[in-house]
Structures are given as C-alpha cells and as structure tokens.
Amino acid sequence: MTDLTLAPGRAPERRARLRRYLMTPPAHFAVTYAINPWMDPAVPVDRDRALAEWRGLRDTYRRLGHRVDELAPVAGLPDLVYAANGALVTPGATVGARFAFPQRAAEAAVYADWLERAGLGPVLLPAEINEGEGDFLVVGSSGLAGAVPTSVILAGTGFRTTPAAHAEVARLTGLEVITLELIDPRFYHLDTALAVLGDDSIAYLPGAFAPASRAELARRYPDAVIATEADAAVLGLNLVSDGRNVIMAAAATDLAHDLELRGYVPVPVAMPELLKGGGGIKCCTLELRRNGER
C-alpha cells in the first residue's frame, strides 16, 4: 500500500486522472427474463426514466472531464446498457466477452465490433465464460504515461465467469490475475461486491466472498474501505472512481462518508430504474485503457 499514514483528522490529497469510457443508452431496456436475483419480470420498467438516469450518469462523467463514447443500442438486447460486461480493455490487450446466459450471448459480438472499429482491437475472443469488467477489475498504474507497470487483475468467479477464464485472461493480457470466489448470489459479478478506488486501493464487502478470498483481500489491501451490508445492498460498490471523484449510488450514504474521510469526493447518482436489471453505475461503464492514454 502507498496510501499516506494520516494524522487524526487529515486525509490524503487525491488526484483525478481523466479516463475514457464506453456506454450504451438503454433505448431498449426491459426486464423480460430473470438471470440474477435483482430481476423480476413482474415489476414494470419505466424506459424513459432509465434513459434519464443513464444520461445523468453520462453527463456526470463529461462534467468531470472524462471522455464518453457511445455504442448504439440494439433492439432485442435489453441488457446491452450494462457495458462493463462487454469486454475487458487493458493497456496492452482487449479481451472480448463470452456470456454465461444465452439471453446475453449476442452482446459479445456487438461490443467486439465497436472496439475493433474504434481502434481498440484486435479483440481476443475467449474460449471460456468471461463477462468482461463485471468480473475482471484492473488495479494498478499500468497504462499511465511514465508509470512502472504494476497492475493486477482482481477476478471474480462463483456465478458467471469461470475459474478457467482467469488463467485465459492472464495469458491473453500478460497481467497477474487474482481469483476471488463470490458466494452471495446478490453479488453475482465482482463489480457488485468490490470497487477499485485508486492504483492501490479498493473497497469491498467481506461477506460477499469465500473465506480464502476474504483472507487474500485482507492481505493485499489491509487499508481497504470496508462497505456495510446496507450500502452493498443498493449496489453502492458498483461505482466508478477516477482516483479522486467517486461516482456512486446516492443511497450508499455510509460508504460515501467513509470515502470522504479517505480524501475522496463522492459524486452521488441515483439509478433505481436501471437497478431493476441488476446493474448500477459501474455496470453501465466500460473503461477503455491504452498505454499512456487517459
């Protein structure tokens, strides 16, 4: 860890880095099937409200200076809005997705095509089940101009992405991949139970992980922010941080307070309609990384 050791009442000065994100508007968003505990086809969805929430998130990123690219929505793919699942873009390699459920299978080709056309290819197609940044979170400084590559990938398994995919992603990206087992079905992707805050700092809910994975996280990140059950239950950990500003669920108030004490600036965004599909802020956001690019 390189976080500062603080005198009482003081927090480190955090610095934001400009990022590049890919998002897809929820023009065809619906909940017509249930593939996670959050989804209930009997609960009506207000698509106009979902679009308004999505635009609010996109505009927040742009207001903070980040670049947001947009992928055109596709009829018949209601979950395409959850862009994080579409790929993993590391500084040196782009790995496509292969979804666990047939309802989302066609999304992989849509994202791969966009990434190729955007110059972020070649997109390496996985043989194993791999749900992109939903289960693969990059932690570290690799890809920053002048930085020593120190990235690792924290990788989730238990509900979607398979353990075999972890070895595959390590081979394709050349980065160390740390396997973490998820055990609570509410937190079916890693990005619902763990958030990357900075180059060496995370927040997570210990109860979402198997004992060995909890021990590994505690060993690697002894100064991590520990989320409450209540904040995790509103997908408070499904957040996006630029190293200073933390765009996060407005309802995750305890987590926001803890982040402020660490010197972060919480930026609350409410997305209750998109939560009906089992996704939040991070789910709607795929980070596009390339060497020296921010």
E-assigned strand segments in the chain: 20-23, 67-70, 87-89, 94-96, 123-124, 136-139, 152-157, 176-181, 194-198, 201-204, 225-226, 240-241, 245-249, 265-269, 286-287
- The sheet carrying 67-70 orders its strands as 67-70, 20-23, 286-287
Q: Which of 66, 166, 189, 284 is catalytic?
A: 189
Tokens read off for 197:
């805050």
Query: Which residues 6+ apart lie within 8 Å of 228 measured at CB?
Result: 205, 254, 255
Question: 3-class SS at 115?
Answer: helix
- List the one residue out of 204, 203, 79, 189 whose CA is nearest residue 134: 189
SS3 of residue 122 by DSSP: coil
3-state helix, strand and coil shares in percent for the chain, rounded to the nearest 5: 30, 20, 50
Task: Say how many C-beta atoms besides its own lie within 10 A of residue 211's C-beta.
Answer: 10
Q: Which of 66, 166, 283, 284 is catalytic?
A: 283
Decide if 189 is catalytic: yes
Q: Is 284 a catalytic residue?
A: no
Which residue in 128, 127, 94, 93 sits closest to 111, CA to CA? 94
* Active site positions, annotated: 189, 283
